[in-house]
Structure 1
Amino acid sequence: MAALFLAPVHALPDPSCNTLIVSGNPEYPPLLWRDQERPGYLIGAVPALLKEITEPLGVNVEVKDTGSWARVQRMARQGDIDMVAGAFITSERIGYMDYLLPPITHLPTAVWVPKGREFVYRHWPDLVGKRGSTLINNSFGQNFDRYAEQNLLIEGVRSIEQSFQMALVDRVDYVLYEVLQGEVKLEYLGIADQFVPLPTPVSREGLFFTFSKAAPCNSFELRERLAERLYELVNSGRVEELIRRYKAMYSASS
């Protein structure tokens, strides 16, 4: 592993691979969101972490806003982007993406409900018969996704703001969204006092950097070099530092 980490940049499969085109979920603050100062790009804790991984290796990254999370996944499948900056593991995604270890972080997902409309939630069957909403093509872990597909009514929408607004006007009973992202998004929207996460999470999943299997810049050597640096930063507590910094930055922008 050390030898791979020290390999020269010219070991990359192609000179054009000195710059990797990356995208991710633009609805994911403080980990990723649209950069108002640089339209067409994403900022957040995850892009910042990726740059700290790649810059010492002489590899540049451009973390672009390519549209909705569903479109980002289509582009990864087709090889139109090199990497995805943050994805949970599903069997479908494993078919077209290579995952870097270790995970960036682990994220619990909550059932968010308007205050005053709380219900008892202890496990997944408690959602049967209720109406939910979340982002199109969002995953909350392989097991929950399978259960939801077979048993639950969850409407996919293009923006999480739409999901929360639907809940406020009683079009849905709950919103599925990660705890961290839900907190900052609701604060940003000015409606944090109108929602609560139910105490029991529906899942707690690892979030990963991935390479498109169809991307020409995807090589075992490059993945190993990035994974080595990722391991160092995760173990040093750097991810938590970046999340705190960008959470404050996103809140200040509201």
Structure 2
Amino acid sequence: MFLVPANAEPETPCNTLTVSGNPEYPPLLWRDEQHPGSLVGAVPALLREITEPLGVNVEVRDIGSWARVQHLARQGEIDMVAGAFITSERIGYMDYLLPPITHLPTAVWVPKGREFVYRHWPDLAGKRGSTLINNSFGQNFDRYAEQNLRIEGVRSIEQSFQMARVGRVDYVLYEVLQGEVKLEYMGIADEFVPLQTPVSREGLFFTFAKASPCNSFELRERIAERLYELVDSGRVDELVRQFKAIYTGAG
């Protein structure tokens, strides 16, 4: 730790961080219709509560699909990703901040009346699934799915649910929380059910792009310290409830 004169210029102008994330992730993250080009939700709100006392601003931008967000993080064209599961590939180009924001179970969502027995991953063999392109549900499941399952990646989760409604796929893979609010927003919450056994339960993390010029050990530690305080206080659960009401009310 060292002190610099009050009038000294910082070595890197990182008073503002460019952040993005999965735009299909309500109530944690979604496109802000009131401010096109921005993302809103519980996770951006949490990040601002972390960074504002540190004198750091964040611009949480809508830069396209989740696959594009990951590509730009790899290139260092954004500084942070607001919510990602851990995979060995992502560890190669992102630094994960502890603790996780929250833990999210992922469900097999099926149209009512077309439920099937699901106890473990092999029960999905021979069936057709759908989810977002480049979505991860934990590295172990991802590896199993790539080798054994038929899961079509699409650009929006609404498309996945509509495909299931008309019988083009048998199930949709999506987190329980996000599935509940997305289906309610679409007005078809009574048409789908999550099968009881989750396929995974993964921690969701803030990450810094390794190639970002703003990625420093000191800044990561300062953010992580504030993150721990807010997670420990139950603030994440409060924000999730708040933004769930905002998102579903907007529908």
TM range (shorter): over 0.9
- TM-score normalized by the length of structure 1: 0.95
**Alpha-carbon contact 1:76-1:82 (below 8 Å) kept:** yes
Structure-2 separation of matches of 1:111 and 1:85 = 24
2:100 paired residue among 100, 103, 110: 103
Shift of 1:14: 3.8
Deviations 1:192-229 (A, max 9, x none): 01000000000000000000000110011100000000
1:206 is matched with 203
Structure-2 separation of matches of 1:205 and 1:139 = 10
Q: Which runs of 5+ in 1 are unaligned?
A: none
Shift of 1:41: 0.2
SS of 1:17's equivalent?
coil
Q: Provide closer, same or farther for how the CA distance between residues 56 and 186 of structure 1 changes in structure 2, counting only shifts above 3 A.
A: same
1:152 and 2:149 equivalent?
Answer: yes
2:55 paired residue among 48, 55, 58: 58
1:39 paired residue among 36, 40, 45: 36
1:216 and 2:213 equivalent?
Answer: yes
Q: Provide closer, same or farther for how the CA distance between residues 123 and 51 of structure 1 changes in structure 2, counting only shifts above 3 A.
A: same
1:69 is matched with 66
2:138 paired residue among 135, 138, 141: 141
SS of 1:225's equivalent?
helix
SS of 1:16's equivalent?
coil
1:169 is matched with 166
Q: Provide closer, same or farther for how the CA distance between residues 11 and 243 of structure 1 changes in structure 2, counting only shifts above 3 A.
A: farther
- TM-score normalized by the length of structure 2: 0.97
Tell me the amino acid that sits aligned with residue 177 of structure 2: L
Shift of 1:17: 0.5
- Show structure 1 runs of 4+ deviating over 6 A: 6-13
Number of aligned residues: 250
Structure-2 separation of matches of 1:10 and 1:104 = 35
1:114-129 correspondence runs (5 A): 114-129=111-126
Tell me the amino acid that sits aligned with residue 98 of structure 2: L
Q: Provide closer, same or farther for how the CA distance between residues 75 and 11 of structure 1 changes in structure 2, counting only shifts above 3 A.
A: farther
Structure-2 separation of matches of 1:205 and 1:9 = 43
Deviations 1:105-134 (A, max 9, x none): 000000000000000000000000100000
Structure-2 separation of matches of 1:12 and 1:144 = 47
Shift of 1:11: 9.8
1:231 is matched with 228
**Alpha-carbon contact 1:111-1:202 (below 8 Å) kept:** yes
**Alpha-carbon contact 1:9-1:58 (below 8 Å) kept:** no
Identical counterparts, % of pairs: 84
Structure-2 separation of matches of 1:190 and 1:62 = 31
1:82 is matched with 79
Q: Which runs of 5+ in 2 are unaligned?
A: none
Tell me the amino acid that sits aligned with residue 156 of structure 1: G
Structure-2 separation of matches of 1:9 and 1:230 = 27
Shift of 1:71: 0.2
Q: Provide closer, same or farther for how the CA distance between residues 10 and 157 of structure 1 changes in structure 2, counting only shifts above 3 A.
A: farther
1:2-17 correspondence runs (5 A): 14-17=11-14
